[in-house]
Amino acid sequence: MQLCAECGDVRLRWTKVPILLRILEVISLGWLKIGKLHFERLTIGDYFSALHAIFALFQNTGPLRLRGPYPKSTFMKRPILIHPDPRLKKQCAVVPDLSDDLRQLADDMLETMYDAPGIGLAAPQVGVLDRLIVLDCAKEKDETPRPLIMFNPKVIETSDEKNTYEEGCLSIPEQFAEIERPADVTVEWVDRDGNVQRETFADLWATCVQHEIDHLEGTLFIDYLKPMKRQMITRKMQKLKRERTRA
Ligand SMILES: [Zn+2]
């Protein structure tokens, strides 16, 4: 999952933004840069989102589109694949035995994830079709980091209660959407030392671990969206990839 590179937050709702700023952002169609809020000029393809933003303004709901500086110039330990890519739609293979190579891959993935910055990363996102994810949702400044490496993670129980978070993905940069998932999940996995672990996760941890396990099945968070919205995001990513190739 992806954090906003500017504010480090994963969700910021219109309701938390002063009304005047919301109006200015909509009128300027993204030309604004005020304080920590970082906007970019909208492209033609963004006009659907602008319409959504205006609609959201009257509804007083919906996401504020936050963008970080892009493209990021820092070197990545393992380059992250950008959607659409066939490797992101594949089911990943169970890891039969741990090896030094796999441990190295997990360590590299954590480094790549922190660098992005993100709170979760799955092996297919770096082009490896093995059941391996890494995550660390301790993102508050005073929180101790808690990097987790999970081989063969499996959701074994989910709560009936649901939770909605605004999700992003390192393979779908700068795009966010509200996704509803079970609020609590119990996950079993094999850790870096080969020991079986089991834990129940809540809040952002629960959403993140489900998002990452979805990657191992070839499922992206945009697969939960309506086709039109999904296609719009896919077109933006195709454009981004073209721009990156040219750069
Ligand atoms: Zn993702």
Which of the four pLDDT bands, split at 50, 70 and 90, describes residue 76? confident
Contact (Cβ atoms closer than 8 angstroms) between residue 62 and residue 14: yes
CA 71 to ligand 1 center in whole angstroms? 18
User: What is the spatial distance between Cα 2 and Cα 145, in angstroms, rounded to a whole number?
Assistant: 16
CA separation, residue 84 to residues 67, 118, 176, 208 (Å): 20, 19, 16, 21
Binding residue ranges? 169, 211, 215
In this predicted model, what pLDDT tens digit does every residue of 188-240 receive, in sequence order? 999 999 999 999 999 999 999 999 999 999 999 999 999 999 999 999 999 99
pLDDT mean over 106-130: 97
Q: Which residue has the higher pLDDT, 87 or 34?
A: 87
Question: Domains (ranges, CATH) in the chain?
Answer: 86-246 (3.90.45.10)
Flag whether pLDDT at 119 surpasses 90. Answer: yes
pLDDT at 60: 40
Predicted TM-score (pTM) of the model is 0.72
CA 223 to ligand 1 center in whole angstroms? 11
Q: Which residue has the higher pLDDT, 229 or 46?
A: 229
pLDDT at 63: 41
Which of the four pLDDT bands, split at 50, 70 and 90, describes residue 20? low
User: What is the spatial distance between Cα 85 and Cα 83, in angstroms, rounded to a whole number?
Assistant: 5
Specify the amino acid at residue 29. Answer: L
User: What is the spatial distance between Cα 78 and Cα 105, in angstroms, rounded to a whole number?
Assistant: 9
* Secondary structure letter of residue 247 according to DSSP: -
Q: Number of H helices and number of E strands within the chain?
A: 5, 9
Which of the four pLDDT bands, split at 50, 70 and 90, describes residue 61? very low
Name residues with Cβ closer than 5 Å to ligand 1, which is an ion.
169
Flag whether pLDDT at 39 surpasses 50. Answer: no
Which residues, at least 6 apart from 131, have a Cβ–Cβ distance to it below 8 Å?
92, 93, 94, 95, 123, 151, 152, 153, 216
pLDDT at 122: 98
Binding residue ranges for Fe cation? 169, 211, 215
Flag whether pLDDT at 62 surpasses 70. Answer: no
Beta-strand relationship, 37-38 and 148-158: unpaired
Contact (Cβ atoms closer than 8 angstroms) between residue 95 and residue 122: no
Of residues 153, 137, 211, the one with CA closest to residue 181: 211
pLDDT mean over 96-111: 97
CA 58 to ligand 1 center in whole angstroms? 31
Of residues 122, 126, 120, 124, the one with CA closest to residue 138: 120
212: annotated active-site residue: yes
CA 129 to ligand 1 center in whole angstroms? 14
Q: Which residue has the higher pLDDT, 25 or 77?
A: 77
* Secondary structure letter of residue 36 according to DSSP: T
pLDDT mean over 17-29: 63
Quick one: the chain helix, strand, coil %, rounded to 5?
Answer: 35, 25, 40
| Catalytic-role residue among 166, 212, 217, 243 | 212
Contact (Cβ atoms closer than 8 angstroms) between residue 38 and residue 65: no
In this predicted model, what pLDDT tens digit does every residue of 137-185 receive, in sequence order? 997 878 899 999 999 999 999 999 999 999 999 999 999 999 999 999 9
